[in-house]
Each structure stands twice: as C-alpha cells, then as structure tokens.
Amino acid sequence: MTIFHKFRLFYVPFWQYLLIDMLMLAISFFVVLMWFPLSTQVPFTKYWIFALVFSAEWLIISYFTHRYIRVKKMRMGELLARLAAAAVMQFCCMLCYMYLISPDHNFSIFVLLTIWLVMLVTCLVYIILSHAYQYATYAEPEVERAPERGPQSVLHPAEFASEERANEIRESIIEEAGPEALAYLEKHISLFSSNTITLASQEIYNFKKLKYYNQDTIVNFMPLNQIRGINQMFGVVNDKLPDNGLFVCCFEPKSTTKKKILQRYPRVINRIVYAFVYLYKRVFPRLVMTSRLYFDITEGKNRILSRAEVLGRLCYCGFEIVDDHKVGDLRYVIARRSFRPQSVATKLYGLLIRLNRVGKDGREFQVYKFRTMHPYSEYLQAYIYQHYGLKESGKFSHDIRITTLGRCMRKNFIDEWPMIINVLAGDMKLVGVRPISKQYLSLYSPELQEKRLHHKPGLLPPFYADMPKTLPEIEASEMRYLTACEERGMYLTDLRYFGKILYNNLLAELKKSVL
C-alpha cells in the first residue's frame, strides 16, 4: 500500500488530526524559542512571523500529503510515512527560503530544531494514541453460539418437586432474594418444575455448562449490575432455552441507586457525589476510549443500569418482555425467548447517534441526532407502544426511554440540530414531513404513507406551522403540506411554511418574554 493510495487532491480534513498538529506546532515553537539559545533576547518578537509562515506551510503540506484523512485503524507505518514525507517537503521549502531569501544562521537553527521537534512530538503522540486506541477497542473473543435451529421442545417431560423439596427451594430463594421475590416468582413461573433452574451467578461459564433445551425456565438471582458481558450472557441463555422458554433476571434500577446516594450524604454534597458516580459508573462504560479501562478496573461490578436499558438489551438479544416488577431494591424481569439474534455484541453509545428512518421512495437512511434516550431504547419502540399506547398528540403516553437531560433537549429541539448533516448530505431538506421509523409510519393511513414516499423528509416539519395536537391532526397537517407541494410547487410551499414556522416561534418567544 502506498502513502498516497486512493489519491484525492481535495478532501475534508479530520478536525482531530488537524487540532493535534496545531497543538504540536505551538508546543514545538514554545520549546525552541524558550530554551534554545538564538543570540537574541526577544525570540518571540523576532521570529513570530516566521513561526506563522512555517505553521501555514506545514499545515498545507500535511494536507496535500493526506495526513488529515481519517483512518479507521491506526496504521503506524502509513502515518509515520506521511509524517516523514511532510517533514522532507517542509525542510526543502525552508531550505530554499534560508539560502535564497534569509541566510540567517540563527534562523536556520530555529527552522531545523522546530522541524525535528515537531516530528518527534508528533511521533510520540501517534504512538500513544495508537496504543490507547488499540487497547480501548480490543474486542474480547465472542462467546460460542449454538447452531441455527428449527422449533425445539424441552427434552424431558416436566416433573414437579415434592412438598419437602419445594419447601427447600422456597427457603433457598428467601435466603437469596427475600420473601417478596419468592411470592412474585411463584405467581408468574413454574418455580418447582424440574425444567426450571435457578442460579445466582455472574460467570457466563455457568450458563454455558447448561444443556441445550433441557430447561424451559432459567432464573438468575445475581443482579445484572454485577455482571460483565450482559449481552453475552443473554445470548448464551437464548441459545440454551427452547422456543418460548422463559428467562428471569433482576437488577437495581438507576432510580434506586440515585435514591440511596441522595439519602446517604447531606444535601448539596449528595448531588455532587451522585454526579461523579453517574459519570464513572454510567457514562464511562458507554464511551469507546474509556469502556475497556472501566471494565478492567471494576470487572463490571456495581454498574448503574436503567430500566429502559435492561429491557432494551433483552429485546436486542432475542427476547420479548412478559412482565417486570419492582421487588424491594431490585426490579425483576420475565422475558420469553422470541428469536435467535444475529449478534449479541456490546453496543457503545456516545452523544451523537444514528437512527434508521424511511426516506423518499421508501429508502431507509440514518438520521443524526443527539442522544436523548437510554442505551438500547431503539429496540423498545414496539414494547412501549403495546404497553402504554399513544397520547392525542401521537407521542407515547409514558416513554420510559427518555433521560432527564433528554427531555430538556427535546423540549428545546436541541436533539434535532445534528440532522443538518442529513440536509447537507441530501437525504433531507430544510422543510418537510418529519423522518419517522417504519414502526411509526405503519400507524399512518395508507394514503398518507403512499404520499410520503414521493417526498424527502425535512428538518422543519409542517407540525411547527400548523401546531396540531392529535395524531389525526398531525396526519391532516402533513397531508395538506404534501398536497400543496404537488399542486403549487415544492419551493414555494416550503418558503411559505418556513415563514409560518418562523412567525410561530418568534410569537412564542415574545409571549414568554411578556409573561
């Protein structure tokens, strides 16, 4: 592979690489002018123009040697080759300048020291970032999955425990989880069946030892907060259960963790403590560059988990939620095996997310938004609709997926700002019907579904111009807009709706300021 493979004269530079270079230049200039003798008392005053010229040349040369093209993997040989090519070209340019324009001995020293220092510091940064990136993105070996299968049944007919054995099981569960948990499980599953197995394990190995299709119910009393590789465990359980088999798990929800911390410490201090705990145990496990370090330090114990995340993980791993119930400090979930997922990899979530939406001609594309929901919430849409239904406005009547910060962002439409990327990419336009998922599109009338497919969705929907309150009113608003686009022309209609949207928002802000 050559240094300039897939040659492109112009490209969009990756801003992080550009920022690193600018930082390295600033550090190098400061070190050279501060600590190396250049026979002048005012090196910063004398050489600042040369420093600017040098920096501009370095950035331009680096751009055209493709040093600012983002690479998915840190290929050190390629990066260092590009760095060497840029340094040689910069040295030649400055050499010409020194001998043809300014044969200043001190300036020559300044140039050479700066070039060597920039290369040295940048090499060190590349090496550090390379090892850090490789460490952070190291993927643990996947858990061996069961082969594809057709419908299965439990291998042995169920036998029920004697009263003496049932009492022993009850005492064991009371000792492990408490009487409330026992009462809940007795009500919802066949707790004393020979095809039901109970464990309290955080080791995936103990689930792998189970025979395939030998139990139709698996119960784990170990809270998920203490388990590293939750998705892997769910995947193994999914393989061991027959079709429609039940899996029972438990976890301490985020709300309970927060309540404990707030009650343990004095006011004000408790909020600060919770903020640090939340950052460490909730945010760090989600980020690419901190996830592995977090799990290596904590072994995945005492994590903060939300209800939406746990339910979403189960749905992602091939289960459907039968019931979930708060028992003391823990929330128990009963899930039924529904399908075999293609993957049970751990998903990392940052602030910016991509969601599948239906665009023009039915083509699916991914919209960019700021995250306002708990991780894995995208797999809960059908569950939320089934259990909570819709309000008159067409939104879910009770959406457990949205975070506290997310509600604030949605209220002020901050979460939709990144969709400008989709507008620039051509998947959306400025004004148009809002991009929605297949699940949500299925709630619309067939006529509106068909009409929507002939138009691009937009960043500013007609909702903001008409201000409808119910789902039928939203459908009517979108139908009026799309019909106007077809009859009066898209550009004139978009311009008219843009004026209405602007007027409504200015009027709303004016009312707020008056009140």
Q: Which of 136, 10, 4, 142 is nearest to 82 (CA)?
A: 4
Which residues on neighbouring strands pair with residue 327, listed in sequence order? 330
User: Strand (E) positions, 423-466?
Assistant: 429-431, 458-460
- Contact (Cβ atoms closer than 8 angstroms) between residue 228 and residue 331: no
Q: Please state, as a whole number, how many other Cβ atoms lie within 10 Å of the Cβ of residue 511.
A: 9
Q: Note whether 207 and 201 are within 8 A (CB).
A: yes
The residues, any chain, with a CB within 8 Å of residue 436's CB and separated by 6 or more, are 357, 358, 457
**Does 493 have pLDDT greater than 70?**
yes
Dist. CA 488–CA 498, nearest whole Å: 15
Query: Rounded CA gap, 355 and 434, in Å?
Result: 13
pTM over 0.85: no
Q: pLDDT tens-digit profile of 327-374?
A: 999 999 999 999 888 777 777 677 778 888 999 988 999 898 888 888
CB–CB of 388/396 below 8 Å?
A: yes
pLDDT at 76: 59
Q: Residue 25: name the closest of 100, 117, 163 by CA.
A: 117
Does residue 64 carry a pLDDT above 90? Answer: no
Mean pLDDT confidence for 131-152: 56
Say how far apart CA 337 and CA 314 lie, in whole Å.
9
Of the listed ranges 134-143, 279-288, 322-331, the one predicted with least confidence? 134-143
Please tell me the number of Cα atoms within 13 Å of 50 on its side-chain side.
23
Query: Lowest-pLDDT range, 22-36, 141-155, 477-491?
Result: 141-155
Contact 116, 24 (CB under 8 A): no
Measured torsion, CA atoms of residues 158, 164, 169, 173, in degrees rounded to the nearest 10: 150
Per the model's pLDDT, the better-predicted residue between 3 and 343 turns out to be 343
Q: What is the mean pLDDT of residues 59-83?
A: 72
- In whole angstroms, how far apart are CA 54 and each of 49, 90, 148? 9, 8, 62
**Per-chain mean pLDDT for the chain:** 81
What is the mean pLDDT of the segment spanning 174-193?
93
Residues 6+ apart with CB under 8 A from 29: 51, 55, 114
330-337 and 352-358 strand pairing: unpaired
Tokens of residue 460, six digits? 């500013």
CA-CA distance, 227 to 302, in Å (whole number)? 8
Structural contact between residues 30 and 117, judged by C-beta atoms closer than 8 angstroms = no
pLDDT in tens, 236-258: 999 899 989 999 999 999 999 99
Percent of the chain with pLDDT over 70: 80
| Residues contacting residue 173 through CB under 8 Å, at least 6 positions apart | 181, 182, 185, 191, 198, 221
Quote the CA–CA distance of 399 and 384 in Å, as a whole number: 7
